[in-house]
Chains A and B, each alone.
Chain A
Amino acid sequence: MNYIFHLLIMIEVYTILALSLNLVVGYTGLLSLSHASFYGLGAYASTLLMINVGFNFFPAMICAIIITAAFSLCISYPALKLRGDYFAISSFAFQIIIFGILYNWVDLTRGPYGIAGIPRPTLFGLKIDSLQAFFTLTTLITGAVVFFKYNLYQSPFCTVLKAIKEEEQAVISMGKNVVGFKILAFAMSSGVAAIAGSLYAVYITYIDPTSFTLDESIFILTIVLIGGAGNFKGTIVGVFVMLLIPEILRFIGLPDSIAHYLRQIIYALILIIIVRFRPWGIAGDKELGSV
């Protein structure tokens, strides 16, 4: 039973991550390879605020959202004025930079040793300690995020993003600040990733840089692509598919060392095959899909 709860909590964390990345990749049409770095920034920011400054979980999470969104400007501000593929490559570089900082700034982040003993959140004086209580908390937060995203996707703001993805010139010619829209969408997406990061940190109570690598970014990207870029329900399907694959491999009973590589190989094959044959995703809408 605990195993199921653990799996559900992780599915919720990844739902938040995938929905937020979808705003950028699916709706705005920007290829971001740095989502795990924002996930990590969120986790580290809220952890450090809780441990070093003594913040409570919720204020720490809100600060982490703001900090992470601000960091997203490092990529979006310089790169968005340039060619589309420069955005992808800057995000790629940013992922390496953030990993390098988390790994090497030992004084602040304890580097490769990671930070252990992250306090569990308390809510109205109630310590959320049991798995069930934690599941309730993540479900509530995920529910809020899903609700927010669902409304966002119906809003005129998102219509502009879709239009940008389709005919950027026409949006500019209507007097809209396209670069501004993209920067805002990217910041929102990064901020939401910080929520997932904060939840992950207080759930596992231990973080280290290896949870936020390029592989992780690609993993989240694969979820989005499986679900279909710009597709809401598809993203959630994608989360289930991608998170259940390793569990299935585990049941087959492969040794851990092989299973790790095999998992990556499967993800890579999925990625290649999806963009080749179904760029709009397994569950996606053909008209909206494709990056």
Chain B
Amino acid sequence: MILQLLVNGIITGSLISIMAIGFGIIYSTTNFFHIAYGSVYVVAAYIMHTFLSWHFPFIISLAMSLFFAVVIGVLIELLVYKPLHKKRAPQGIYLISSLGVYILMINITALIFGNETKLLSYGIEKSIHFGDVILTKIQIAQCVTFILLSILSLFFMHYTRIGKTIQAMGCNARLLEFCGVNLQKLRFIIFAIGSFFAGVASILTGLDVGIDPYMGMIPLLNAVTAVILGGIKRIEGIIAGAFFIGITQNLVIGYLSGRWESVVTFSMLILFFLYQSGGIIKVKKRAEEL
């Protein structure tokens, strides 16, 4: 059983990683908790569902869903956060606005589609046996997508001009502005990338377990936990954090009960804060000091 749990943990970890990489890119550069990220996740799945119900082919529905996820992500930045940048609003204001956008979008979704669980794929998936371990096709797709996306994002962050600029923005946004970089344009790109990741994670989850309007909160908090546990700036760290959470969650499910999954995850976050008190602050304060 332990092997199956570990494999399940890796699959959960892959999903959390996808979500967390997107969240991490946004968080490390803008420095506020983009809670509306969770609603982009939900809406992407419902767009997929809508297109499928209009009998579009799978691939087109997927493409449209990801496209709209990106559009919505950028729109949130444009309509909600951009005016706040102009006012140089404090972090708390961003967080509250973001929360507002989250509730707004979730409830509009629920108003239109109802709050019962809907399925993205019909029929039971065929499972594949590797010795004792059972996998479904979707789970394999989740892993493969994760591997592709993580390689892509590592390459993007380390070897492309935009990726490097995004990393630099995480360190010191003001300085970049002085160097003549258009921060607003960069932010749009960041939100586009992040929302794309949310869309991918959402559809991969939806295909497996179905969708409902409240599906976004737990993945969002998992992603937040992964980003904080893994160290905000580095994608490798975020992935490690995500896998740690994924595996722990599945061990909890296996040996304790599925009900305690989220309680355990977020207790880890708080315990981590308890352990870390002081550790993170040093890195953050540096820029002001020098």
Contacts and interface: CB of A to CB of B under 8 A. Distances in A.
Any A–B CB pair closer than 8 Å: yes
Interface of A: 29, 31, 33, 74-75, 77-79, 81-86, 88-90, 92-94, 96-97, 100-101, 103-104, 214-215, 218, 221, 225, 258, 261-262, 264-265, 267-269, 271-272, 275-276, 279, 290-291
A177 to B, nearest CB: 15
- Per DSSP, chain B at the interface is helix
B95 A88 contact: yes
B3 interface: no
Interface in B236-262: 257, 259-260, 262
A214 B31 CA distance: 23
A79 B92 CA distance: 15
Contacts of B96: 31, 221, 225, 271, 275, 291
- Per DSSP, chain A at the interface is helix
B83 A31 contact: no
A277 to B, nearest CB: 9
B274 A271 contact: no
A263 to B, nearest CB: 9
A33 B96 CA distance: 10
Interface in B255-290: 257, 259-260, 262-263, 266-267, 269-271, 273-274, 276-278, 280-281, 284
B108 A265 contact: yes
Contacts of A84: 91-92
Contacts of A291: 90, 92-93, 96
A97 B269 CA distance: 11
B171 interface: no
A265 B107 contact: yes
B280 A75 contact: no
Nearest to B268: A93
A55 to B, nearest CB: 27
A88 B33 contact: yes
Interface in B198-250: 217-218, 221, 224-225, 228
B95 A271 contact: no
A31 B92 contact: yes
Contacts of B228: 86, 89
Instruction: For chain B, give the interface size range.
Output: 35 or more
Given A85-B32, A267-B103, A93 B93 contact: no
A267 B99 CA distance: 11
Interface in B14-63: 31-33
B103 A82 contact: no
A215 B278 CA distance: 31
A267 B104 CA distance: 8
A114 to B, nearest CB: 17
A268 B33 contact: no
Minimum-distance CB pairs A-B, first 9: A271-B100, A78-B274, A291-B92, A93-B266, A268-B104, A272-B100, A100-B263, A268-B103, A78-B273
A265 B104 contact: yes
Given A90-B269, A265-B104, A268-B107, A78 B277 contact: yes
A279 B93 contact: yes
Contacts of B111: 258, 261-262, 265
B149 interface: no
Nearest to A225: B96
Interface string B97-112: 1011111101110110
B273 A85 contact: no
B49 to A, nearest CB: 18
A84 B273 CA distance: 12
A165 to B, nearest CB: 11
A82 B33 contact: no
A97 B273 CA distance: 15
Contacts of B262: 96-97, 100
B277 A82 contact: yes
Contacts of A79: 270, 273
Given A78-B270, A264-B106, A265-B103, 4 more contacts: A78-B271, A82-B278, A271-B96, A272-B80
Contacts of B102: 268
Nearest to B96: A275
B84 interface: yes
A246 to B, nearest CB: 14
Contact of A275 (B93, B225, B266, B278): B93
B267 A97 contact: yes
Nearest to A219: B103
20 contacts: A78-B273, A79-B270, A82-B276, A82-B278, A82-B281, A84-B91, A85-B95, A86-B228, A88-B92, A89-B224, A90-B270, A93-B221, A97-B266, A218-B99, A261-B110, A262-B111, A275-B100, A276-B84, A276-B97, A291-B96
Contacts of B101: 268, 272
Listed residue (B257, B270, B277) with the most chain A CB atoms within 10 angstroms of its CB = B270
Nearest to A95: B266
A83 B288 CA distance: 14
A271 B91 contact: no
Contact of B83 (A214, A269, A276): A276
Nearest to A215: B103
A97 B266 CA distance: 7
